Amino acid sequence: MANDFQYNDDDSKACGGYLPSTSPLDRRSFLAGAAAGAAALALPRWAVAAEGLLAPNPSAAFDDDLSPIRSEIMRRHDETIKRLQTWIRQPSIAAEYRGMNEGCELTMQMLREAGFQQVTKVPTDGQPGIFATLDAGAPKTLGLYFMYDVKQVDPSEWSSPPWDAALVDKSGFGKVVIGRGAVNQKGPEAAFIAALHAIRGSGRKLPVNLILVAEGEEEIGSPHFPQIVRKPEVQQALRRCFGIFMPSATQAGDGQVTMTLGAKGVVELELVSSGEKWGRGPRTDVHSSNKARLDSPAWHLVQALNTLVSADGNDPAIEGFASRARPLSPAEKSMIATAAQRMHEDAVKRSLGVEHWVHDASFQESLEMLMGRPTVNIEGLVGGYTGPGGKTILPHRAVAKIDMRLVPDMTAAEALAALKAHLAKHGFGDIEVNMTGGYDPTSTPADASLIRAQTAVYKRGGIDPVLLPRNAGSWPGYVFTGEPLKLPAGHFGLGHGSGAHAPDEYYVIESSNPKVQGMDGAVFSFVEYLFEVAHTA
């Protein structure tokens, strides 16, 4: 899922780790059950039968018969794939100012065709956003968060060109579409749009009204997203919402789903130590022999950095930084304990390439730290000579790229202020603190009706989602969950993909694993979700 997170390019890791894959026994039992038509509650509602049709699970929590919509999804299969391919073939990369207006216009056109009556481009100080509404005359209104931008690519790293959106057989998964944005986020968003087409195409009325906000700068840290969401007409529309969600491919490769009740906040920044600002040491790189008589901005940076964390490098030591950090509640700890039981520590460690958690903590403790601890991390160090071998210079400038992760009730602004005050207090007030992105933590109560509706849909589909209090990655949900809207917010959607921010990003179109949904299953999960939301108290 969290391939939709700017600050989280590998969701399975940010969520805490990989879930156990289906054991042969589990799968055999499941197939036996499916063949017998029994144990309906354990059956995925969207199980794929041998001929590739969706096998409906009759035990819906509501009375609507969704099978005509399901048929319509299948009828429109090719149209849906084609729409996704068209979208992928339009690159929109904010970091490169590439195809932004085209991507915005194309997205707006797709929303209009899907039934949104009002679709408005929202100018910002950066790339434009979109505000769209679909009034179905329904009692309930659901919010939607879309992004139309994608991450940069290095085409030489791809086995299939990133803008071809080719359909390829991928071992263990079936037919997938390969392309930048396939899973992050055009695939799941296209599946949601297809759900609207299918509902309308089958002659049904949409069970909820929709309010949609979209941005084109998700991949650069959503710097202007508040300008979109905080427009009065957008705020007014969002206030009516039951909650807001982003379409996502939440299934891991084994079909398992992890739900998170929020995300950490983040501040990304550069610490820049320079002779210019310091007034000591050189203002240009000079011969290194001068170290004997000149102060070194690089040593100055090292010494400033050293004050930011504990002696083992693990605990933030910035005064006041975490003073508003809320400890994990007993309920959150219990949620993590349950999740830890269902996860495989060995697989997680293997995938991360690690042997030890900090302080040699247990797996459960590692998850508690992942969800509950603020962090100060070095993303990168760059200063002076960085090529092969050495070069005898005393550099006039050195930079540390830092990210700080925040838990409720910390805020990005307060974290930044604490850092600046700390540096000043310790004699490093000359070091520049240049924030490049970030935002507050986001949090949604476990008992929010949005979360209950999502859980209900997953469970009826035979999936018992792992529930975690927080994603250790970050997304700009604070604009919804914070003041003044205080909306529940999260991600939803079946389906699977991977490779966000990486080469060969893919999204499964036709799944070869009965536990993993392909495109049609993903589309149907959104249909179910909309009807579930309409019926949730």
Tell which positions 453-472 bind a copy of itself, by CB under 8 A.
471-472
Per CB under 8 A, 394 contacts a copy of itself: yes
| Residues ≥6 apart with Cβ < 8 Å to 334 | none
**Integer Cα distance of 9 and 281 in angstroms:** 39
Q: Which of 146, 144, 164 is nearest to 91 (CA)?
A: 164
Span from 102-110, 247-255, 318-326, 395-403 in contact with a copy of itself (CB under 8 A): 395-403
Contact 197, 76 (CB under 8 A): yes
Residue 354 or 424 with smaller CB distance to a copy of itself = 354
Residue 86 or 314 with smaller CB distance to a copy of itself = 314
Burial of residue 392 (CB within 10 Å: 0-12, 13-18, 19+) is exposed
Residue 224 or 264 with smaller CB distance to a copy of itself = 264
User: Which residues are registered as beta bridge partners of 65?
Assistant: none
Per CB under 8 A, 312 contacts a copy of itself: yes
Residue 355 CB-half CA count within 13 A = 0
Residue 281 or 521 with smaller CB distance to a copy of itself = 281
Per CB under 8 A, 361 contacts a copy of itself: yes
Pick the binder of a copy of itself from 106, 317, 381, 416 (CB under 8 A). Answer: 381
Q: What is the DSSP letter of 155?
A: G
Pick the binder of a copy of itself from 37, 155, 279, 327 (CB under 8 A). Answer: 279
Q: Which of 488, 508, 478 is nearest to 6 (CA)?
A: 478
Pick the binder of a copy of itself from 303, 338, 449, 512 (CB under 8 A). Answer: 303
Residue 35 CB-half CA count within 13 A = 7
Per CB under 8 A, 55 contacts a copy of itself: no
Contact 278, 419 (CB under 8 A): no
Q: Which of residues 475-494 bind a copy of itself (CB under 8 A)?
A: none
Q: Which of residues 243-272 bind a copy of itself (CB under 8 A)?
A: 264, 266, 268-270
* In the complex, minimum distance from the CB of residue 68 to a copy of itself, in angstroms, rounded to a whole number: 42
Convert residues 419-448 into a mask of x (bound to a copy of itself by CB under 8 A) and - (unbound). -----------------xx-----------
User: Which residues are registered as beta bridge partners of 48?
Assistant: 54
Size of the site for a copy of itself (CB under 8 A): 89
* In the complex, minimum distance from the CB of residue 144 to a copy of itself, in angstroms, rounded to a whole number: 25
User: Which residues are registered as beta bridge partners of 403?
Assistant: 268, 377
For the chain, the first-to-last Cα distance in angstroms comes to 26
Per CB under 8 A, 353 contacts a copy of itself: yes
Pick the binder of a copy of itself from 75, 391, 425, 486 (CB under 8 A). Answer: 391
Span from 100-108, 377-385, 486-494, 505-513 in contact with a copy of itself (CB under 8 A): 377-385
Tell me how crowded residue 259 is: count the other CB atoms within 10 A of its CB. Answer: 21
Residue 123 or 380 with smaller CB distance to a copy of itself = 380
* In the complex, minimum distance from the CB of residue 277 to a copy of itself, in angstroms, rounded to a whole number: 12
SS (H, E, C) 238-286: HHCCCCEEEECCCECCCCCEEEECEECEEEEEEEEEEHHHHCCCCCCCE
Per CB under 8 A, 154 contacts a copy of itself: no
